[in-house]
């Protein structure tokens, strides 16, 4: 389990989708992963400048309910390279882009890929996902996604406490 979310022991990292793998190759990999019982997919908006999320969204269309998707924000995107990537307006923009590309109405696990040295952490953490225009994030995975707790749970599951 990842908090209250149930995931497979093995997940699929997707940083090559949209870069080294075209859509057909991505679909083949995702189909094979699903056939092998993989239910956890890890991506980021920066992978292929959004193409990884786009390919995952297309490939999982109609099969989204059976998987958990983790995505990340905070790396420099071509569309807004000068933006402070830790401020709530940028995060809102990033969430909306990920939701659109992933073709989903909710993000299961949302993480900051790298800190934004221009934005104080309290400002980044001020994002309110329950606000009327707030991002659609699973309640247990709001910013921050409690990385220390998740790391402890992951190490515990591996017997490495």
- CB of 41 within 8 A of CB of 11? yes
144: cis peptide before it, omega within 30°? yes
Give the integer Cα–Cα distance in Å for 15 and 28. Answer: 15
> 43, 44, 39, 42: which is closest to 67 by C-alpha?
39
**47 labelled catalytic:** yes
17, two tokens: 């989708």
- Neighbouring CB atoms inside 10 A of 157's CB total 12
Give the integer Cα–Cα distance in Å for 81 and 88. Answer: 16
Helices (H), 2-87: 23-35, 51-60
* Secondary element (H or E) of residue 69: strand 68-73
Out of 47, 55, 90, 110, pick the active-site residue.
Answer: 47
Residues designated catalytic: 47
């Amino acid at each position: 389990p990842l908090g209250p979310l149930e995931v497979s022991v093995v997940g699929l990292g997707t940083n090559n989708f949209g870069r080294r793998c075209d859509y057909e190759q991505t679909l083949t990999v995702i189909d094979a992963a699903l056939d092998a019982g993989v239910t956890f997919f890890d991506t980021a908006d920066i992978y292929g400048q959004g193409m990884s999320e786009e390919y995952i969204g297309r490939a999982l269309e109609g099969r989204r309910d059976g998987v958990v998707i983790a995505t990340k924000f905070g790396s420099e995107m071509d569309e807004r390279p000068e933006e402070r990537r830790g401020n709530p307006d940028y995060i809102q923009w990033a969430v909306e882009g990920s939701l659109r590309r992933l073709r989903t109405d909710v993000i299961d696990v949302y993480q900051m890929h790298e800190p934004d040295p221009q934005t104080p952490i309290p400002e980044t953490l001020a994002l309110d996902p329950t606000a009327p225009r707030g991002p659609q994030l699973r309640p247990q995975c709001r910013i921050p996604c409690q990385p220390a707790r998740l790391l402890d749970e992951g190490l515990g599951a591996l017997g490495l406490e």
